[in-house]
Chains A and B, each alone.
Chain A
């Protein structure tokens, strides 16, 4: 007989959890009733929120983690996984949600950032994290920090798909570019991608009247030196070059409002979609939810997309990106 050693919170379990939601739709819900509608429509998970992004946008002010009581109500109402959002860099909210037992934490630009320099070091947690990214640099930094899943930022609460499409292009084309570069060139990219971790130390040196120099053994983010971050990012870039995709599950988010939007995201190579305001801000949420689930499943069958897009009622009212007062996607680099 051998000894049974049990392990929790490993990288394999965190990334594995994300793999189990592939090909699925994760829906924003604000109460138990919406969560049940989502579950019955075939959602693979729900995101428990105080307000959907469209309403967060409208309300203004500081958007924080949802009331844990509300999250618990949603956890009790459904059998599928429940995710919840924290503000970027907010360890207090992250530890609270981990203690509450949510299945995944979204460190999200949709809420007001808590830290203008850094994201949470997600390796310190047993619960898996998903983070938004506009480009490969952001994606790789989040993966290095321990994110088990990446999603596009898109522009949440707009019902406008244009930013999500832009972010997918920026990631996918950059991955293709890596294929044509040698290791030295990729190392140069790794150094560039690691630069945002230097912002705090450079600000401090400037405030102190010192020249903008990085000390070799000085930690710049948590316990990590710049060199360690560069090496970590370099390793991830080499893996991406080889796989020709991100090494974690990659979803679309931010602006998905119709079944055809969801199908487009899948056609562009995404592993699944988050739908925020798009479902419960439409005139017939139940029907819209079912149609988007089917669209993700049949994304490569145009006749099915045409059929399920019929007679869904009004989708959410969309917003033009140029006319927005707040660009959520610019939060957290």
Chain B
């Protein structure tokens, strides 16, 4: 199995490490790599868009000819998981986007950038997953807030009563950072569905 992590900016290594660990635990062999160029999209089985600055990632994905190609692949069924900035990139509706910012528009959600506040309001809290009884430590860093779900998106993670993770067929979007914990259940969940 070949998994690419979009590596134009952000916490790329953390996702590579978490994905490798998840593959080990699931007994899946394969490689996880830093994906920077459009050519590297060939023959991948799954793609992860990491956290970082969504304005920077969007800009560099356009510049590197990645944005349109990833959108096409997502529409034709390639499993893609985005966390934090990655969720913003995947969303169909974004509040607080800056001029010229473009997105993949693959997930039926409306998100609001930085809606939990600035860094001093960043927080950790236990989340409820729909597919596992054990709570999951959610790490929210200047996180986007999912303010509306429509169409085909389904919740997979809740903070209190609020949806903080969704899935829609081959696409998974999370407002928090599973790659900053040692818990690989969400990576495993994503890989299992992709495999």
**Residue ranges of A at the interface with B (Cβ–Cβ < 8 Å):** 1-10, 12-13, 16-17, 19-24, 39-40, 42-45, 75, 78-81, 98, 101-104, 126-128, 293-294, 297
Which B94-123 residues have C-beta < 8 A from chain A? 96, 98-100, 113-114, 118-123
CB within 8 A of A23: which of B52, B64, B121?
A: B52
Contact B125 A5 (CB under 8 A): yes
Residues of chain A within 8 A (CB-CB) of B11 are 16, 19-20, 22
Given contacts A24-B52, A40-B100, 12 further A-B contacts (CB under 8 A): A5-B125, A7-B124, A13-B119, A13-B123, A13-B141, A16-B180, A20-B85, A24-B56, A42-B59, A44-B52, A79-B96, A297-B63
User: Separation in Å of the B14 CB from the closest CB of chain A?
Assistant: 6
Residues of chain B within 8 A (CB-CB) of A17 are 119, 122, 141-142
Residues of chain B within 8 A (CB-CB) of A80 are 53, 55-56
Contact A44 B124 (CB under 8 A): no
Contact B56 A104 (CB under 8 A): no
Contact B120 A24 (CB under 8 A): no
B186 within 8 A of A: no
CB within 8 A of A22: which of B9, B36, B114?
A: B9
Residue contacts A-B, CB under 8 angstroms, 5 given: A7-B123, A8-B123, A10-B124, A13-B119, A16-B177
B51 within 8 A of A: yes
Contact B56 A8 (CB under 8 A): no
Contact B9 A24 (CB under 8 A): yes
Contact B10 A126 (CB under 8 A): no
User: Separation in Å of the A42 CB from the closest CB of chain B?
Assistant: 4
B16 within 8 A of A: no
B23 within 8 A of A: no
Contact A21 B53 (CB under 8 A): yes
Chain B interface helix/strand/loop/mixed: loop
Q: How far is the CA of A8 from the CA of B122 in the complex (A)?
A: 6
Contact A79 B113 (CB under 8 A): yes
Residues of chain B within 8 A (CB-CB) of A43 are 56
Which chain B residue shows the least CB distance to A44?
B53
Residues of chain A within 8 A (CB-CB) of B126 are 2-5
Residues of chain B within 8 A (CB-CB) of A103 are 118-120, 142
CB within 8 A of B120: which of A2, A10, A19, A101?
A: A101
Q: How far is the CA of A102 from the CA of B117 in the complex (A)?
A: 11
Contact B99 A12 (CB under 8 A): no
CB within 8 A of B119: which of A6, A104, A294?
A: A104
Q: Identify the 3 closest CB pairs spanning chains A and B, nearest first.
A: A103-B119, A23-B9, A42-B59
Which B1-60 residues have C-beta < 8 A from chain A? 7-14, 36, 51-53, 55-56, 59-60
Residue of A16, A19, A24, A75 most packed against chain B (CB within 10 A)? A16
User: Separation in Å of the A162 CB from the closest CB of chain B?
Assistant: 27
Residues of chain B within 8 A (CB-CB) of A40 are 98-100
Residues of chain A within 8 A (CB-CB) of B118 are 75, 81, 101-103
Q: How far is the CA of A43 from the CA of B9 in the complex (A)?
A: 10
Contact A16 B139 (CB under 8 A): yes
Q: How far is the CA of A297 from the CA of B125 in the complex (A)?
A: 33
B84 within 8 A of A: yes
Residues of chain A within 8 A (CB-CB) of B36 are 297
Which chain B residue shows the least CB distance to A78?
B98
Q: How far is the CA of A241 from the CA of B24 in the complex (A)?
A: 26
Contact A127 B123 (CB under 8 A): no
Residues of chain B within 8 A (CB-CB) of A12 are 124, 139, 180
User: Separation in Å of the A28 CB from the closest CB of chain B?
Assistant: 17
Contact A81 B180 (CB under 8 A): no
B135 within 8 A of A: yes
Which chain A residue shows the least CB distance to B127?
A4
Which chain B residue shows the least CB distance to A249?
B11
A12-B139, A13-B141, A40-B100 known; A23+B7 contact, CB < 8 A: yes
